[in-house]
A and B are shown apart, each in its own frame.
Chain A
């Protein structure tokens, strides 16, 4: 078991999250892709913590898990609010702030 495998898995996971974020329009899938990218960073931090034998990486990953929880609460509240006002979860239809000249 070498760190390379973990690094490869973390980078592929981050890229899958980025692909989902760029190419999908469902708000829930966007939210889950964001969470996936954050979790890939978490995996990278845990791997570095193991590589260096230093527990600080695990502590940063714990703090990032707390940030993930906060982000989930806010994002889901925003999705509920947007669905209540627009009756859709299509991210292309939320264009109220678009420039109109």
Chain B
């Protein structure tokens, strides 16, 4: 009973946060909704007894990804007139909800048809996860490390300002 009430509260947090994220026009408020949804998801992982996963979700998704996106939003600091207008946003959201609803039902039906109950109530300990990560899953682990390195280099290259005209417009005019 306690688990069900915890689940309900966390699900309300997650769904409310994600709906706020979809609906809001101000980007920073959507980022706050996203933050609430991510924290709720970490609680959901903890409820599923995946302790290391909950920790990783808190550290990476909440601590790194959301904070990085909030910093980017604040750096860009787009004025309300620079944001897209989206005058009939709610109409589009309603329309695409109706379109997406069969996909939701499909995912739900196909997943619930597989398993009806939890087979074990033992927590998935960090020890087992670490052993699996470095025995069966060591090749994907190494590939992910290469992917992270490539993403870091790519992010630096993409975001670098190599157009010097933007940096010094007045020197261009003087010359």
Contacts and interface: CB of A to CB of B under 8 A. Distances in A.
Interface residues of A, number: 76
Interface in A37-64: 39, 42-44, 46-53, 55-56, 58-63
B155 A46 contact: no
A6 B167 CA distance: 51
Chain B interface, >50% SS class: helix
A1 to B, nearest CB: 4
Nearest to B140: A63
A28 B41 contact: no
Given A28-B73, A63-B140, A70-B151, A16 B18 contact: yes
B65 A58 contact: no
B144 A15 contact: no
Contact of A24 (B57, B86, B95): B86
Contacts of A18: 96, 100, 103
A15 B100 contact: yes
Interface in B50-68: 50, 52-53, 56-57, 60-61, 64-65, 68
Centre residue among B93, B101, B105 by max chain A CB count within 10 A = B93
B161 interface: yes
B30 A2 contact: no
Given A32-B21, A74-B155, A81-B159, A8 B118 contact: no
A43 to B, nearest CB: 6
Contacts of B151: 69-71, 73-74
Interface in A77-94: 77-81, 83-84, 87-92
B4 interface: yes
Interface in A16-45: 16-20, 22-26, 28-29, 31-33, 35-36, 39, 42-44
B84 A72 contact: no
Contact of A7 (B53, B65, B112): B112
B175 interface: no
A33 B124 contact: no
20 contacts: A14-B104, A15-B104, A20-B18, A32-B21, A32-B34, A32-B69, A42-B53, A43-B41, A47-B48, A49-B50, A50-B118, A55-B132, A68-B60, A70-B151, A74-B151, A81-B158, A84-B161, A90-B83, A90-B84, A91-B84
